């Protein structure tokens, strides 16, 4: 039995985790596996073909892959699964796949992914839980995975030999009944094996207690992320930042995602950015993408328009760092004086005093405070060295 695993040719920062788990599953059954990216002739004729998918807007490379392998091996069953397939089953079925799988495959969930298929990759990606008990309208997680479930209370067996970092993909790890055991194990791994921990999907600020903050402070984390999706969680965000910094984690190593272009207004968005910078953390604006969108950045929220979105995109390019806003002096002063979105995010005129100041202050402070740069790189997942 030979199983062909296909990652379509879309951009991804991470290896195709679902396929790597499926690879381990088939190997346990004695099959051989082959992982390819895009449309390429495999080394051997397969008996089964698994194609994965990711964001809904990356559907075209998925269709291309399905057609390529279906044409090449017309009698072999081509299965399609992953995020796009789960969110948009009917659309995915039009690709020509013989079967569209929605949701997770329970039988592969507790297997160590076959990382030997991606030898250049050096981190173990772990989901200690699936699902989430909240039902935020803009989120796919509760729709695909349901309530919090399949919670693990141990993770060491999921760390691949030689990996020096752990990336947690839990949607809301603090909801897990086992979060304490997991955190204690992470502390142990951090302290004994110097393993770095990345809570990649962020932590729920509403669930951050002193106990959580204390445990976090004992791990090797480079940054902690929260989400400030609407003003109702302002107190929770401020309190979580305060607790974490009280236990020794630096405020500038806390990043806060700020959803915009959803049901918010531009002024409301500006205020949330200002709150985050005032609290000393890094603001990370996140443009809303509808769950069933087939085009990235195609959506314009009811209180936004294209000009405002473009204006903000330019501002973050010029005055942000890789799109995020650290609380640097020029920005803090500017936001303090601004009454709303237009004033805050109006692009400084070319060669104007403002722009010169923006650049000077900005780059100088980043050069001076190297750890900001490091922290930001972590937020941007560019370099975890
Ligand atoms: C990690 C992650 C990221 C990473 C990048 C992921 C990557 N690979 O490059 C980062 C942090 C960068 C990120 C960013 C964003 N993300 Co994101 N992200 C995720 C997350 C947690 C996992 C995605 C992933 O890679 N999974 C790997 C998959 C395919 O493996 P798996 O699901 O474990 O696979 C199982 C099953 O799917 C199945 N399976 C998989 N393949 C196959 C194939 C076959 C044949 C079969 C049978 C089964 C099968 O079996 C597996 C084992 O059970 C999901 C949430 C979630 N819980 O899934 C959101 C998610 C995909 N992200 C989402 C969003 C909205 C975003 C952002 C747009 C946020 C923003 N506003 O900026 C950005 C977009 C970035 C960009 N420009 O492209 C949405 C997707 C919405 C959509 N319309 O597609 C999700 C679903 C989260 C949500 N809250 O709704 N994200
Ligand atoms: S808390 Fe996070 S994971 Fe849970 S439904 Fe809301 S956005 Fe999704």
Q: Which residues line ligand 1 (CB under 6 A)?
A: 12-14, 17-19, 21, 50-52, 54-56, 79-83, 87, 101, 104-105, 108-109, 139-141, 169, 171, 200-201, 286-289, 291, 293
The 10 Å CB-count burial string (b at 16+, else e) for 57-72 is: bbbebbbbbbebbbee
pLDDT score of 237 more than 60:
yes
| Pocket lining: 134 vs ligand 2, CB cutoff 6 Å | yes
Q: Is residue 28 in a domain? A: yes
pLDDT mean across residues, the chain: 91
**Does residue 162 form part of some domain?**
no
Residue 60 domain-assigned (yes or no): yes
Looking from the CA of residue 291, the nearest atom of ligand 1 is: 83
How many separate domains does the chain show?
1
pLDDT at 369: 44
The finding on whether 144 has its CB within 6 A of some atom of ligand 2 is: no
Residue 54 located in a structural domain: yes
Which residues have a Cβ under 8 Å from the Cβ of 28 and sit 6 or more positions away?
111
Domain that holds residue 68: 2-107
pLDDT at 348 over 70: no
Residue at 48 is within a domain? yes
Question: In the chain, pLDDT over 90 holds for what percent of residues?
Answer: 84
Report the pLDDT averaged over residues 11-34.
97
In the prediction, which pLDDT does 384 show? 30
In a domain? residue 312: no
* Digit-coded pLDDT (tens) for 91-116: 999 999 999 999 999 999 989 999 99
On whether residue 183 sits in a domain, the answer given is no
Q: Which secondary structure element, helix H or strand E, spans residue 335, and what is its range?
A: helix 329-337
What CATH number has the domain bearing residue 96?
3.40.50.280
How do residues 76-95 score in pLDDT, each as one tens digit?
Answer: 999 999 999 999 999 999 99
Q: Does some domain include residue 311?
A: no
CA dihedral for 49, 116, 199, 278, sign (positive or negative): negative
């Amino acid at each position: 039995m030979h199983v062909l695993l296909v990652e379509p040719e879309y951009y991804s920062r991470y290896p195709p985790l679902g396929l790597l788990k499926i690879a381990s599953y088939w190997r346990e059954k004695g099959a051989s596996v082959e992982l390819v990216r895009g449309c390429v002739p495999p080394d051997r004729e397969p008996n089964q073909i698994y194609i994965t998918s990711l964001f809904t807007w990356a559907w075209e490379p998925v269709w291309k892959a399905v057609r390529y392998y279906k044409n090449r091996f017309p009698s072999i069953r081509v299965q399609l699964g992953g995020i796009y397939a789960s969110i948009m089953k009917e659309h995915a079925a039009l690709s020509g796949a013989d079967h569209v799988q929605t949701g997770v495959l329970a039988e592969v969930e507790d297997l160590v992914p076959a990382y030997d298929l991606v030898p250049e990759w050096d981190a173990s990606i772990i989901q200690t839980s699936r699902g989430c008990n909240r039902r935020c309208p803009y989120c796919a997680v509760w729709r695909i995975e349901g309530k919090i479930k399949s919670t693990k209370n141990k993770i060491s067996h999921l760390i691949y030999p030689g990996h020096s970092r752990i990336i947690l993909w839990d949607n809301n790890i603090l909801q897990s009944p086992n979060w304490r055991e997991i955190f204690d194990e992470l502390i142990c791994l951090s302290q004994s094996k110097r393993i770095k921990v990345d809570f990649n999907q962020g932590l729920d600020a509403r669930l951050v207690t002193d106990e959580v903050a204390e445990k976090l402070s004992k791990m090797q984390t480079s940054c902690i992320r929260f989400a400030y999706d609407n003003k109702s969680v302002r107190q929770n965000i401020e309190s979580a930042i305060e607790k974490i910094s009280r236990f020794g984690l630096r405020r500038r190593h806390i990043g806060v995602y700020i959803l915009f272009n959803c049901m918010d207004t531009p002024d409301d968005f500006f205020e949330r950015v200002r709150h985050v910078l005032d609290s000393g953390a890094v603001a990370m604006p996140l443009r809303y993408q509808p769950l069933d969108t087939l085009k990235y950045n195609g959506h314009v929220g009811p209180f936004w328009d294209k000009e405002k979105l473009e204006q903000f995109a330019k501002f973050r390019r010029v005055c942000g760092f890789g799109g995020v806003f650290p609380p640097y002096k020029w920005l803090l002063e500017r936001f303090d004086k601004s009454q709303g979105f237009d004033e805050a995010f109006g692009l400084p005129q070319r060669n104007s005093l403002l722009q010169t100041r923006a650049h000077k202050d900005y780059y100088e402070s980043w050069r001076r405070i190297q750890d900001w740069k490091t922290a930001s790189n972590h937020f941007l997942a560019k370099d975890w060295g």
